[in-house]
Amino acid sequence: MPTLVVLAVLLAGLVVFANVWTDVQWYSQLKAAKVFWTQWGWAIALGTFGTLLVGLSAFVNHIVARTGEKTAVRKGIDQYRQQIEAHPWLARLFVPLALGIVFGAQLGSQWRTYVLWLHRTPFGQKDAEFGNDVSFYVFTLPVLQSLLALSVTLLAVGAVVAIVSHYLYGGISSDGSKVVLTSRVRVHFGVLGALAALVVAGFLWLRRYNMLLANNEKFSGASFTDINASLPGITILSLAAVLIAGLFVLAAVKGLWKFTVIGIAVTAVAGLVVTTAIPYFVQRFQVVPNAAEKESTFIQRNINATLAAYGLDNVKKSGYKAQTDAAAGQLRSDAETTAQIRVLDPNIISPTFTQLQRNRPYYSFDQQLSVDRYTIKDTPRDTVISVRELNLSGLSEGQRTWVNDHTVYTHGFGVVSAYGNTTTSDGEPSFFQQGIPSTGELGKYEPRVYFGKSSPDYSVVGAPKGTTPWELDYPTGGSKNGVKSTTYAGDGGPKIGNAFSKLMFAIKFRDTDLFFSDRVTKDSQILYDRDPRVRVSKVAPYLTLDSRVYPAVVDMDGNPKTPKRLVWILDGYTTTNQYPYSARQSLNEATVDAKSKGAGQYGESPEQVNYIRNSVKAVVDAYDGSVKLYQWDKKDPIVNAWSKVFPGTLTPMSKMSGDLMSHMRYPEDMFKVQRTLLSRYHVTNAKEFYSGGDFWDVPQEPTAPKGSTEDQPPYYLTLQMPGQDKAQFSLSTGFILGGADKQNVMTGFLAVDSEAGSEPGKVRKGYGQLRLIELPRDVTVPGPGQAENNFLTDSKVSTTLNLLKQGGTQVIMGNLLTLPIGGGLLYVQPVYVQASKTSGSTSYPIAQYVLTTFGKGSKIGFAPTLEESLNQTFGGDSGAQAGDANVSGHKEAPSADSNNKPKADPSASPSPSGSPSASPSSPSASPSGGGATPADELQSALSDAQKAMEESNSAMKEGNWSAYGEAQKKLQSALERAVKARRETEGGK
């Protein structure tokens, strides 16, 4: 048995050593070893300090209790005392050390608190009550609270040890029902009592400052009652606790315990009066009847602090008298914004990218594609982009071997990107970068993706020079086996070329094949922890990371002669929940919306924050996994403190290339937090804030299933806000009326300038500027929910979509975009269709129509292109040209078999095909029956449409695309006749 225990301990030690050693290699390869040693060094040092301190408390109290006592003979107790005396190391070393480990080692988990305090930097802002710099609350107050908590632990452990020791050595005894204490015991307990009273005084004194961090029913921070009733009482109690400490000393020296007991009792009663009774009466009879007036000073403090803490103190506000009537030429002054209106929904078209660009089943695209901007042929374009990542689950069961999983299928390949503001003539994405090898407008770049969001848990790469490559690079038709192979040439992971390294990593991954495989050579590297979020979180453990990671093809060095790099970009935040008077906000609650599918992204501490800054932009190379942390905010005191803790880990923003700078964008999650707060804190008058009569809500997602309460996500798009000089890449959201009934009337619109510019090392002036337009209260402007309802209840739209659904086609409503252009609010929504999923068929969404509406009561635009739809809404001529103005041809419903469907030319700007553009507003075919009533004609048209849908489905199954096209023409004609007939039956409405 002892042998098994020893072996188990040795095995556990080996596993721990292997994990630590491999972690050191991982950090060292990234040149971030100082991060590992700093955090573990501080954690171990503080844990050791806490252990020794608690152990010392136990030791001292035991020695004090043992020394000088005249031990009386007591039956049943002597044997324990004798055992202790026979083994002095047990009571003097083992027990104190064990208590120290149990109760003191946890101090190491607070290493962040102490190192931040040691490297603290001032905020330059003072709290409104005590005049302390905010840094006191963020850096110093947590340390003081931690030390007081440690003091409680020391006193509690010491008191327990003292009681036990005094009892064993006779200092505490019993005389019948009476407990007898020697004078030495009284002195000992008197000293402990005095120390405890001082600790209580410390807690009460710090409670004064914690008032400024409290949450009240209507606002955050100290209230009128807190400052005018509770604060004086707590101050008095703190001083009383110090006096009680003196009474304990007096009792210890003179034995006057009566005064100590009386002092404690009086203080306890006084505590109830000054902390409970008096505040209650002040609140009930002075504040409640006059709440708006009494609390206004403190509410204003809350408003000012919240705006400063969340970066909302420089929002440009303006009134916007939104027009509700549409007229011809109304978008002429917004031509730049109109040209970039996005018709591709990045949350819908991932299956389309997959079917058209995946190439092989072992590749995949992210479920939510990213929106970015690229300059194509000297013109800035909004784009939708995704990485073709490796997906091992796409391999068949027979292909899933250790060799394949870890040495052959090692990386993804390239990006696929499409213009956001147009499609091909058949509704598919208009790709400008595509294929394998990757070709298009982005130029030459390193396309191999060894580090990505869906990379395998680990891969072994690299081989001696001259070795036949065995890594699958990409599929090709120019080789015998249909693939091109490669050997990794980067520096992306720890070396694993010797037996010791192989053993350590085999233990770490619990994988014996890693040790015995011949494919692990002397030049091999092991790539693991490959998700960009994981890599950044390990290198910068102090950052709260944005839930979105987006790819970009970037010229990292500013040299056009060298290939570009494919990188992952993510935003890092520094946060705290210690900012005085600032409102606390749950990151999970603020960032969950319809796009995040209800999944909370922030499970780590702090759960709530009341200060946030986008202090770091992190860039992870997709080929070698290198991590660069660019300090984005030079003024943030928290990141400046961390830069001292981990010197040299942050790269100055001045070293960022111009091309990389052009792909920086305003972070989405931070914007969500800000919009959540602005729904209330756009009200900056304290009395109006208290009433809450002008609070707003974030609109709920209009396309969500019935009963869903998910918020509509913000959207990246190029737009020009009222008062802005020109259109800029922006992130925007709307606001509707607040209240329990959720009336979907637009009240405000928020956009932030997300264009960082393209100058190396310098952020463009205007980046990050928040603009809030407030709509007049006397004009009813439809919100997103009303706009969606207007779309779906329009006779033309409902008839067409219902017929599509009846014909075996699934209709998907795309993102509903809101744009403050044309002097009002324009709503744009793409409509996607896809074949219903049946056994053996392939289904993916195709952009079929675009819906538009402006203001209230304007004509609903419903056409295959945005250009046509806008013209319908604005009296035949919107005055501006949409991005898909050159798209023509008949958009067909999607095929059930993507492999047989003919593809349109995916050029940058699809050229006119010469055929007229199909539109629900185009002239309809003449009625088949000359004397038929409108009701008869409607029935006839619906019957013809049903027949045409059946012919289309039959043609798709047979692969007869000529017949399919003819059937689609019949369907279009029948739909137009049905729409016209329905209008006639409704009296020409």
**Per-residue confidence band for 68, with pLDDT thresholds at 50, 70 and 90:** low
Nearby residues of 907 by Cβ (< 8 Å), 6 or more positions away: 424, 430
Closest Cα partner for 340 from 716, 668, 714?
716
Residue 747, phi then psi, degrees to nearest 5: -120, -25
Concatenating the DSSP letter of every residue in 29-60 gives HTT-HHHHHHHHHHHHHHHHHHHHHHHHHHHH
Q: Both tokens of residue 878?
A: 């919107």
Q: How many residues can be counted in the chain?
A: 989
Confidence of residue 809 (pLDDT cuts 50, 70, 90): confident
| Interaxial angle between packed helices 961-985 and 934-958, expressed in degrees from 0 to 180 and rounded to the nearest 10 | 160
> Do the beta carbons of residue 514 and residue 460 sit within 8 Å?
yes
User: DSSP string covering 73-130, please?
Assistant: P-TTTHHHHHHHHH-HHIIIIIHHHHHHHHHHGGGGGGHHHHHHHHT----S-B-TTT
Confidence of residue 478 (pLDDT cuts 50, 70, 90): low
The overall longest dimension of the chain from CA atoms, in Å, is 125
**For residues 809 and 833, which has the higher predicted lDDT (pLDDT)?**
833
What pLDDT is attached to residue 80? 61
Calculate ∠ Cα 894-417-435, nearest 5°. 80
Highest mean pLDDT: which range of 476-490, 740-754, 969-983: 740-754
d(CA 143, CA 146): 5
Rounded-to-integer distance, Cα 332 and Cα 336, Å:
9
Contacts 24+ apart (CB under 8 A), 463-470: 463/487, 463/519, 463/521, 463/523, 463/524, 464/521, 464/522, 464/523, 465/523, 467/521, 470/407, 470/408, 470/519
What per-residue confidence (pLDDT) applies to 941? 75
| Closest C-alpha to 360, from 401, 320, 399, 315 | 399
Rounded Cα distance, 579 and 610, in Å: 6
Which tokens is 245 given?
A: 């400490």
> What single-letter DSSP state applies at residue 525?
E
Domain positions in the chain are 31-181, 320-333+783-874, 349-529, 540-774, 935-987
User: Per-residue pLDDT averaged across 30-43, rounded?
Assistant: 96
CB contact set of 381 (below 8 Å; sequence gap of 6+):
340, 373, 374, 375, 419, 420, 421
Cβ atoms of 66 and 130 within 8 Å: the answer is no
**What is the DSSP code (8-state) at residue 842?**
-
pLDDT in tens, 511-552: 999 999 999 999 999 999 999 999 999 999 999 999 999 999
pLDDT for res 254: 79
Amino acid sitting at position 110: Q
Whether the per-residue pLDDT at 983 is higher than 70: the answer is: no
Q: Which two tokens stand for residue 574?
A: 């520094």
pLDDT category of residue 90 using cuts at 50, 70 and 90: confident
The predicted-structure confidence for 706-743, as pLDDT tens digits, reads as follows: 878 889 999 999 999 998 999 999 999 999 998 777 78
- Nearest one of 966, 958, 943 to 806, comparing CA atoms: 943
pLDDT at 98: 93
Question: What average pLDDT does this structure show over 775-787?
Answer: 90
- Token reading at 650: 């942050």
SS (H, E, C) 210-236: HHHHCECCCCECCCHHHHHHHHHHHHH
How do residues 350-392 score in pLDDT, each as one tens digit?
999 999 999 999 999 999 999 999 999 989 999 999 999 999 9
Q: In the predicted model, what is the mean pLDDT of residues 176-187?
A: 80
Q: What is the spatial distance between Cα 727 and Cα 654, in angstroms, rounded to a whole number?
A: 26
Tokens of 475: 């599929």
pLDDT at 505: 96
**Contact assessment for residue 760 and residue 723, using Cβ atoms and an 8 Å cutoff:** no
Answer whether residue 975 shows pLDDT above 80: no
Higher pLDDT, 938 or 666: 666
What would the two tokens of residue 612 be? 């946030």
Distance CA 817, CA 421 (A): 12
pLDDT at residue 450 in the model:
97
DSSP summary character for residue 910: P
The Cβ of residue 403 has, within 10 Å, a number of other Cβ atoms equal to: 14
Which are the contacts of 931, defined by CB distance < 8 A and separation ≥ 6? Answer: none
Residue 985 is predicted with a pLDDT of 62
Rounded CA separation 414/310 (Å): 37
**What's the 3-state SS for 642-710?**
HHHHCCCCEEEHHHCCHHHHCCCCCCHHHHHHHHHHHHHHCCCCHHHHHHCCCCEECCECCCCCCCCCC
Q: State the pLDDT at residue 894.
A: 42
How many other C-beta atoms can be found within 10 angstroms of the C-beta atom of residue 485? 14
pLDDT at 930 over 50: no
Q: How confident is the model at residue 924 (pLDDT cuts 50, 70, 90)?
A: very low
Beta strands 746-753 and 715-719 are unpaired
Amino acid at 723: G
Please determine, for residue 173, whether its predicted confidence score (pLDDT) is greater than 80: no
* Distance between CA atoms of residues 289 and 685, nearest Å: 20
When mean pLDDT is compared across 139-143, 248-252, 979-983, the lowest value belongs to 979-983
Paired sense of beta strands 846-854 and 826-835, if any: antiparallel
Distance of CA 483 to the CA centre of its chain: 38
CA distances from 822 to 323, 333, 773 (A): 8, 7, 14
Per the listing, tokens 């309809």 go with 924
pLDDT-based confidence at residue 462 (cuts at 50, 70, 90): very high
- Convert the pLDDT of each residue in 209-238 to its tens digit: 999 999 988 999 999 999 999 999 999 999
Question: Cis omega (within 30 of 0) on the bond before 437?
Answer: yes
Beta strand pairing status for 861-863 and 379-387? unpaired
Residues 6+ away with beta carbon under 8 Å from 892 = 426, 427, 964, 965, 968
Q: How many CB atoms lie within 10 A of CB 461?
A: 26
Residue 954 in tokens: 């039959």
What residues contact residue 37 under an 8 Å CB cut-off, 6+ apart? none
Q: What phi and psi values does residue 980 have, to the nearest 5 degrees?
A: -65, -45
Q: Are strands 439-440 and 429-434 parallel, antiparallel or unpaired?
A: antiparallel
| pLDDT band at residue 961 using 50, 70 and 90 as cut-offs | low
Q: Per-residue pLDDT for 63 more than 90? A: no
